Structure 1
Amino acid sequence: MARKISIERVGEMMKVVLTELQNAGGQARLKELLPRAESKLNLTDYEKAPYEKSGYIRWQSIVHFYSIDCVKAGYIQKSGGKWYLTPDGEKALQMPADEFIRSAMDKYRDWKISRAKSSDPTHEIEEDTDEEKAVRQTAYDQAVEQAREEIERHISDMGPYDFQKLVEELLKAMGYYVPFNAKPGRDGGIDLAAYKDALGITPPRIKVQIKHREQKLTVKEVRELEGLLRKEGDIGLIVSSGGFTSEVEREIRASVKHIETMDLDRLINLWQQHYGNVGEAGKTLLPLVKLYFLAPTEE
């Protein structure tokens, strides 16, 4: 079909959306970014109009569609319905809009060619926005985002001890023995202990600290866990549903002790990955079901 939105205009849209992502701290859901971007794009009636068959807004579907170019270019990452701006993406935002989108398309083309057995012309990226593909990508992205939001909301509504039990069930599904689960109340800083064997003889021996709250973990709490990792083969795991500040991440990287982190996004990804091994107690806490969609262009 004839292009009514130029590739240069697409570049403007993608740059504004990614700039809003940067302003949001480098991570956000697209539905949070679109209203902010819309106010800055001076959209035409054609761009704001819905596609006739699907009802999806044209400019928003174009953003979904060209986000794949940005992913393959390494400018953004997507996980669980959220977008994450990469360091390469931050650098790319310094380019003019036309150069920005064409660089993403070129990198996507290179990626396609690298996957193909030969670099024949059928693997070239067309500069026209295919409405059907744009709509399919939009539907897929929105379904992923909605599903992840529902899972996150379900976990957020859990009490602290149910959340702790959820982490225990995940570790068991990953093949660990969990001989210790601290009861509610003061626990000396350790909520769970997980071993590779039933006796805890074979390293690693994981000491788990769990924080289920909106606030991010503090450096003080990291240092408290560091003090509990006294034996060779001890590894610390901090699970924080509220996430981690940049100061905490720097503290962990600088620590001489081996400490791993698990935020809500990583917990859900691991839960999905190992769901086949989750016991009935775990599935009662967080039941999931597979739902199949027509695959987007590239994902």
Structure 2
Amino acid sequence: MDKELEKLAPSKRSAAKTIFAAFNILKESGGQLPGKQVFEKIRNSIQFTDWEKEVYEKTGYVRWESILSFYTIDCIKAGFLRKNKGIWYLTEEGEKAISLGPVKLLETAGDLYRNWAVDNNVNKIKKSKTEIEELEENKPQTQKANLDYLMELALSGIKDFIRTKNPYEFQDMVAALLRAMNYHTPFISPKGKDGGLDIIAYNDPLGATSPRLKVQVKHRPDSSIPVDDIRSLTGLLNKDGDIGLFVTSGTFTSEAERSARESHRHIKLLDIDNFISLWQQFYSKLTDEDKNMLPLHSIYFLGSNE
């Protein structure tokens, strides 16, 4: 073990090695990865002590996972890390911080967080240097870390559920979402038909008013939609008032996103994160039958002022 790590208290030692591992994992993955996968990769790459693998009674989580979640808040406030909709993003500053090594990286993140707290008049309690008491002392940060972790687990569970659907079931979910958004869906592509449009949606039952949505749906949870697919949809927008909507259970390549932005036609892209966000937003407007395609349950937790 690194001599500098050996000098740290167990909680800080665990934080330093897991944060450092997370940063390297994100760098090797192109700078971003779902939080669940970051935890999985760390779990498979680091040999943890029995103490780290215990369930910490204060949070109900595995101790090293709770510690990692807690210290990612420091990294976020330091500008090293971003989290959005369950995805972790390593910033340019974070990638540079890898060169500091595990211990110095953790210390630097903590110092920058304290500076941020002072600048923003946040009453941040100084962390203990002896044991995992910081999780007990600093309730706001612990609370924020736990909420982030729970949201990542929830989002991961929703994505896993969508992954189990077949392409036509996902297509039906997209149509259900459009209906909840007050669109009419007179055409949904039947099974067996390949290519062309998957859904046509109107503002009114007759399609007499703009916009008229022409929708392509791809159920590809493990891949990114290439630019050629976006260009194909663009070629189908041949009337004034036509808007192209491309929905995927995966993501889009950067070239596909740029093509949509620069298109002479109005093209809207919905990746899996945006689809889930809209499903949550319009869930109350879905029929009971449509809700059953992706049933959700709301739970409210005490939030954080940070």
Deviation at 1:165, TM superposition (A): 1.6
Compared with structure 1, are the counterparts of its residues 253 and 15 closer, same or farther at alpha carbon in structure 2 (3 Å cutoff)?
A: farther
RMSD: 3.6
Match of 2:82 among 74, 77, 83: 77
1:244-297 CA-to-partner distances (Å, cap 9, x unmatched) read 2344334434433332221222211211122122222321211111123454x5
Compared with structure 1, are the counterparts of its residues 39 and 146 closer, same or farther at alpha carbon in structure 2 (3 Å cutoff)?
A: closer
Q: Distance in 2 between matches of 1:114 and 1:203?
A: 49
Deviation at 1:199, TM superposition (A): 4.7
Q: Distance in 1 between matches of 2:35 and 2:265?
A: 37
Deviation at 1:76, TM superposition (A): 3.2
* Contact preservation (8 Å) 1:213, 1:242: yes
Q: Distance in 2 between matches of 1:40 and 1:186?
A: 45
Q: Distance in 2 between matches of 1:80 and 1:285?
A: 21
Residues 107-256 of structure 1 mapped to structure 2, 5 A cutoff = 108-109=113-114, 119=121, 123-128=123-128, 130-132=134-136, 133=139, 140-186=147-193, 189-214=196-221, 215-256=223-264
Compared with structure 1, are the counterparts of its residues 16 and 204 closer, same or farther at alpha carbon in structure 2 (3 Å cutoff)?
A: same
The corresponding residue for 1:270 is 278
* Contact preservation (8 Å) 1:68, 1:298: no
- TM-score, normalised by the number of residues in structure 2: 0.75
**Structure 2 segments unaligned to the other structure (5+ residues):** 1-7
The corresponding residue for 1:20 is 25
Deviation at 1:25, TM superposition (A): 3.5
Deviation at 1:166, TM superposition (A): 0.9
Opposite residue 59 of structure 1, the aligned amino acid is W
Opposite residue 124 of structure 1, the aligned amino acid is K
1:208-235 CA-to-partner distances (Å, cap 9, x unmatched) read 1001134432332221111112334432
* Contact preservation (8 Å) 2:20, 2:98: yes
**Structure 1 segments unaligned to the other structure (5+ residues):** none
Q: Distance in 1 between matches of 2:38 and 2:73?
A: 17
- TM-score, normalised by the number of residues in structure 1: 0.77
The corresponding residue for 2:68 is 63
Opposite residue 207 of structure 1, the aligned amino acid is K
Q: Distance in 2 between matches of 1:157 and 1:174?
A: 25
Compared with structure 1, are the counterparts of its residues 250 and 127 closer, same or farther at alpha carbon in structure 2 (3 Å cutoff)?
A: same
Q: Distance in 2 between matches of 1:235 and 1:88?
A: 39
* Number of residue pairs the alignment of both structures matches: 291
Opposite residue 243 of structure 1, the aligned amino acid is T
Compared with structure 1, are the counterparts of its residues 44 and 267 closer, same or farther at alpha carbon in structure 2 (3 Å cutoff)?
A: same
Opposite residue 258 of structure 1, the aligned amino acid is H
